[in-house]
Amino acid sequence: GRDLLSLADLTSEEVTALLQLAAQLKSGQLKPQCNKVLGLLFYKASTRTRVSFTVAMYQLGGQVIDLNTTTTQVSRGEPVEDTARVLDRYLDILSIRTFEQQQLETFAHYAKIPVINALTDREHPCQILADLLTVEECFGKLKGLTLTYVGDGNNVAHSLLLGCALVGMNVRIATPADFKPLTEIVEQAKAIALPDTEITVTEDPEAAAKGSHVLYTDVWASMGQESEANSRIPIFQPYQVNEQLLSLADSEAIVLHCLPAHRGEEITADVIEGSHSKVWDQAENRMHAQKALLASLLGI
Ligand code: CP
């Protein structure tokens, strides 16, 4: 089956079609139904992704099995190759949250059913589909807008690079020198970008924020570096989304954060609770975007 392991698995046309389907599902214009079973195999904690996938599948008439490291044999060392071939015989579609992209790819290789990346250390494609839906709702378009991401050049930054490139949004990534996104992903984004799309990687958050339509951030230590969080704060402090940084953006700019947020670190309380913040719509849109993805991959 078709998988979604990276946003780069999709064409520009496919992203546009998924966002259109998500909007139609959200408005109630379309109500596709199925009798399929989704498995959620999560090696890491999750609030938004797990609950939004579950509710989306219920609303499609399907069922969900919540799998995790304590309720399966994966924690006792059953090989991924075996787990994948077994789950393939029971489930219709499988969403996986894990650490290494390679492990996700091994699952997808051995399971013939569609496999979805529900977050790896490399990418978070489902998050970015919801983000693009949110931007489109706010501005009525995507192409030609500028999104600035400030903070850690992590999995969310990687998927933003690819997602913005595919829809023709200019994307600026501002990070400390030692926290840049992977060069290979920046190059991949440039290779798949629609014409006239600017892709910038910088260490200057203020230059990056200037005139932006979307200001985006994420936690400063998300991928197993939580123990380093305190030592990172001084390095990341200039990259905080606060009123001062927001004042450099377009006057109609929106603020996004994939959540969970750490107020006073990557974003201030006044900005996340302020009038430019769309983070709750963004979180809601996880459900609509993933419902569209499930419907599309299941062919319903
Ligand atoms: N944004 C996000 O993926 O949230 P969860 O970790 O709660 O799923």
Residues 96 and 131 in one domain: no
Is the pLDDT score of 252 beyond 70?
yes
pLDDT at 81: 97
Which mutation among 42, 51, 96, 286 tests ligand 1's pocket best, with the greatest number of atoms within 8 A of CB?
A: 286
Q: If you average pLDDT over residues 145-168, what whole number do you get? A: 98
Residues 151 and 103 in one domain: no
- The CATH number that applies at residue 254 is 3.40.50.1370
- Three-state secondary structure readout of 12-78: HHHHHHHHHHHHHHHHCCCCCCCCCEEEEEECCCCCHHHHHHHHHHHHCCCEEEEEECCCCHHHHCC
**Which protein residues are within 6 Å of ligand 1, measured from CB?**
46-49, 119, 127, 258-259
Residue 113 contacts residue 83 (beta carbons within 8 Å):
no
Count other C-beta atoms under 10 Å from residue 58's C-beta.
13
Q: What is the tens place of the pLDDT at every residue in 211-250?
A: 999 999 999 987 667 777 788 899 999 999 999 999 999 9
Residues 95 and 139 in one domain: no
What band does 198 get if pLDDT is binned at 50, 70 and 90?
A: very high
Atom of ligand 1 nearest to the CA of 49: 8
pLDDT at 223: 66
Is the pLDDT score of 15 beyond 90?
yes
Q: Is 5 annotated as a binding residue?
A: no
Q: Can 138 be counted among the known catalytic residues?
A: no
Residues 104 and 19 in one domain: yes
pLDDT at 221: 82
Which ipTM was obtained for this model? 0.99
Q: Is 251 annotated as a binding residue?
A: no
In percent, how much of the chain has pLDDT > 90? 93
Q: What is the tens place of the pLDDT at every residue in 18-28?
A: 999 999 999 99
Q: Can 204 be counted among the known catalytic residues?
A: no
Minimal-distance CA residue to ligand 1 atom 4? 48
- Is 232 within a domain? yes
Average pLDDT score over the chain: 96
pLDDT at 230: 80
What band does 175 get if pLDDT is binned at 50, 70 and 90?
A: very high
Q: Is 41 annotated as a binding residue?
A: no
Pairing of strands 115-117, 93-97: parallel
Active site residue: 152, 218, 282, 290, which one? 218
Residues 138 and 273 in one domain: yes
- Is 1 within a domain? no
What band does 69 get if pLDDT is binned at 50, 70 and 90?
A: confident
pLDDT at 222: 72
What band does 93 get if pLDDT is binned at 50, 70 and 90?
A: very high
Number of domains in the chain: 2
Residue labelled with tokens 């954060």: 257
Strand partners, 214: 147, 254
Residues 235 and 203 in one domain: yes
Atom of ligand 1 nearest to the CA of 258: 1
pLDDT at 228: 77
Residues 171 and 221 in one domain: yes
CA 202 – ligand 1 centroid, Å: 26
91 Cβ contact partners less than 8 Å away, ≥ 6 residues apart:
37, 38, 39, 65, 113
Minimal-distance CA residue to ligand 1 atom 6? 46
Residues 267 and 202 in one domain: yes
Write out the residue range of the structural domain in which residue 133 sits. Answer: 127-282
- Is 2 within a domain? no
Atom of ligand 1 nearest to the CA of 45: 6
Which mutation among 49, 99, 279 tests ligand 1's pocket best, with the greatest number of atoms within 8 A of CB?
A: 49
Which mutation among 47, 95, 285 tests ligand 1's pocket best, with the greatest number of atoms within 8 A of CB?
A: 47
